[in-house]
Amino acid sequence: RNSELELLLANALADINTLRKLLHATPITKIQDAVLPTPTTAPLRQSYGRKLNLALGVSLESLPEVILDRIVSFVDPDSIFRLCHAVPYYKYISKAMYDIASEDALEVNSLWPTFEFPMNLRSFRKNPLHFLNYTRILKRHGLSISLGVQDLEYLNEVGPYLTPTVSVSCYTKSLLHVFTLLKSSGVKCVDFLHLMGAPRDATTTDWGILTKLQINVIDFEMGDSALFMSGLKNIFGLNALHIDRASGTDFETLFDCSSLRSIQFNHLSLESLPSIMQGIKKSITLEWVEFIGNNIPTRNAMREGIIRSNCGWELLTCLNDLNKPNGWALKRKVCSNE
């Protein structure tokens, strides 16, 4: 995620400097420098009807709205209000945030950049227009909503207000129905899906909805989720899995996901290790497998298996590679072309 954010920031900075060049302004090296005026001796052209202050030079407000809209999406919760007060263009954001927060006394970090949609819909039902206005702002800036779905009625009610990208904690067992409602509400991507228990409808043979909705990361407790795991290969764009308390030996279908890049196992049972190692060795897409909270025998068995098989993976431990006190990981070795 850090590398993705750095790439987006670099692209935004490049866009800013492109516009600054058109305005005959010197380039900047950090996005926050755009807030400060910079001296210039060249005449400045007016942009998008906003008046430029020639005495102070080029400032953040002088940039086109498309650039301003992109910049604000990278602002953290601690800075968003200060930015809105410093730059009049962003006042509509702070006004909409105030309208939402005043209803439920919500904290800023639950509003921006990801809006945690309230599970209690009292204030939503009282002032739905405030929520409509705010979610439109989120869509405009490419931001997302996080929500906890307790039942299908809740999702039916809030569905029209959702952003194209959401994160979902699913407390209902009707998972495929949830996906269907998300899709019909205009959701295109579930960035993070947390499952509370095995889906009741996981035994269905109709997995078609999973091919129409991108799901990046799924977090679930294995329990009796073996049937659900068999359907993971149908999910479009599945990048990572977090599996809690995995046990048993039926993991073959887990490694059939063509887009899967990483798996995290929490409290893996020792009996599951051989079948998981077989799946790891056969996978051509996996790059990272992390183990959290396992005991020493499990780690030692893993080390011996890696050494014996010489399967192109290396073992990283908490002592030298990971900043986690009770975890280790397998990382695919990079093949040299030399």
Domain boundaries, the chain: 2-72, 113-332
Choose from 5-14, 94-103, 304-313 the range with maximum mean pLDDT. 94-103
Q: How far apart are CA 318 and CA 324, in angstroms?
A: 6
Is residue 317 over pLDDT 90? no
Where residue 320 falls among pLDDT bands split at 50, 70, 90?
very low
Residue for token pair 């992109």? 70
The SS3 call for residue 297 is helix
Strand runs labelled E in 93-246: 114-116, 144-149, 165-170, 189-195, 214-221, 240-244
Instruction: Kindly state the tokens that stand for 209.
Output: 């909805």
Summarize pLDDT for 131-188 with one digit per residue, the tens: 999 999 999 999 999 999 999 999 999 999 999 999 999 988 788 889 899 999 999 9
At CB < 8 A and 24+ separation, what contacts does 313-319 make?
A: 313/280, 313/281
Q: How is 57-113 classified by DSSP, letter by letter?
A: -B-GGGS-HHHHHHHHTT--TTTHHHHHHH-GGGHHHHHHHHHHHHHHT--GGGTSS
Give the model's pLDDT for residue 34: 62
Instruction: Kindly state the tokens that stand for 85.
Output: 């007060």
Instruction: Kindly state the tokens that stand for 82.
Output: 């200060």
Size (the chain), residues: 338
Q: How far apart are CA 159 and CA 166, in angstroms?
A: 11
The mean-pLDDT minimum among 6-10, 153-157, 258-262 falls in: 6-10
Q: How far apart are CA 118 and CA 134, in angstroms?
A: 13
Q: How far apart are CA 38 and CA 35, in angstroms?
A: 9
Give the model's pLDDT for residue 247: 74
Express as a percent the part of the chain with pLDDT over 90.
Answer: 26
Contact (Cβ atoms closer than 8 angstroms) between residue 263 and residue 289: yes
- Taking 3-state DSSP, the helix, strand and coil percentages for the chain, each rounded to the nearest 5, stand at 45, 20, 40
The SS3 call for residue 250 is coil
